[in-house]
Structure 1
Amino acid sequence: MEEQNNTQDILNQVHESTPDTLHPILDYIIKNGKMIAAGVAAIILIAGGISGFKYMNQQKLIKAQSEMGTILIKYSGAKQADALAAFEKDAPASMKPAVQLALAKAWMDAGHYADAKTVWAAIAKTSPKLSAVSGLGQAKCLMLEDKAGEAVTVLQKLKESVDAVYAASINRLLGEAAEKAGNIQVAIQAYQGLMTSSPQEASFFEFKIKELKAKL
């Protein structure tokens, strides 16, 4: 009787320490009266294997984060971009967005705007939640390439498709791009939007609007 109680105690401990997904297996063993040492050992090994797998993944992520940190510290410009591009191929999926963002910035810092635009476009595909950031990045690259008119087109489309929380950032860049492209009306509209979303700078935008209207 005492031996049965000890066995039940062990069984309860194993049941509590194993993931919920393994409980049906354990319950089956109990139900069929096959609570033997080998059965318990198998369950413990499975549970240990799951924990080990999680530990290995965690260690892999930590190592990858360290490698990326080294790249960002050790290199800059084109060398940093090349290193990040190579690193991205085997980077953990959870790190992809961060690696791509760093890569886009590295290409921009290096003046490789075409490469940066390619990465910004890839970010929008792999991380839809970053589509607004991607669009802003692409527009900035176009402006740096002296393609302000194309930047205006990108920003106007972006403004229609993303959440209003990005309106201020889009209007700020849109106003700059439209002004540079000679599209006065669009620039005025963008600055008017900023007077509402950025009241602390209202006097500056009011000045810009007056300045632009004088050119009409």
Structure 2
Amino acid sequence: MNMDPVRKRERMVREQIEANGIRDPEVLRAMRAVPRHLFVQEALAAQAYDDRPQPIGHGQTISQPYIVALMTEILEIKPGMKVLEIGTGSGYQAAVLAEMGADVFTVERVRELHFEARERLARLKYYFVKLKLDDGTLGWPEEAPFDRIIVTAGGPKVPEPLVEQLADDGILVIPVGPSKRAQTLKVVRKERGLVRTEDRTPVIFVDLVGRHGWDG
């Protein structure tokens, strides 16, 4: 890399994340701490801190830094919260959540990515992230309920199993839209058993595949 990774992370946080309105100090600290260049393909390490998503193989991507920070800030993470992530990918989002003290459960459907992320997270000493190879649209019912749920792929609807597995006073953030190439980031809140949804911003994510996703 042409610049020290720590300096690259500082520039990423300052120019891409803080400049676009992210203010949660714990989100900013976690984004500064996690070595993003170790979560992309080695040939793309020099581009890891650019303001765009990066391919990680198998038709999947690591989201651009701002989107990772935005979705994480929306979740209002507190240490000890039980968080379900759908779409482990390279493990970067799980690492950010773990860095903030969350108890992370993450589900990936692509076998190769699942095992690569497991090895990577262990190597970086994120020992307490729990990983599962499965259809993420089904959630992780054995471990429910979850205080927070984050979905890092876009589907045609909010999967009902995820809403069911969300704890009371919980928050779920997910890209949803009628097109595979355009979604809206939706925030689902469950309060006293009632569910309400709000739209946040247009986004583009890879497809959410599974029984309650595009290929359901």
| Larger RCO: 1 or 2 (CA < 8 Å, sep 6+) | 2
User: Which structure's residues are more often strand, by fraction?
Assistant: 2
Mark the structure with the bigger radius of gyration.
1
User: Which structure's residues are more often helix, by fraction?
Assistant: 1
> Shorter-chain TM-score: what band?
under 0.3
- After TM superposition, the score normalised by the length of structure 2 is 0.24
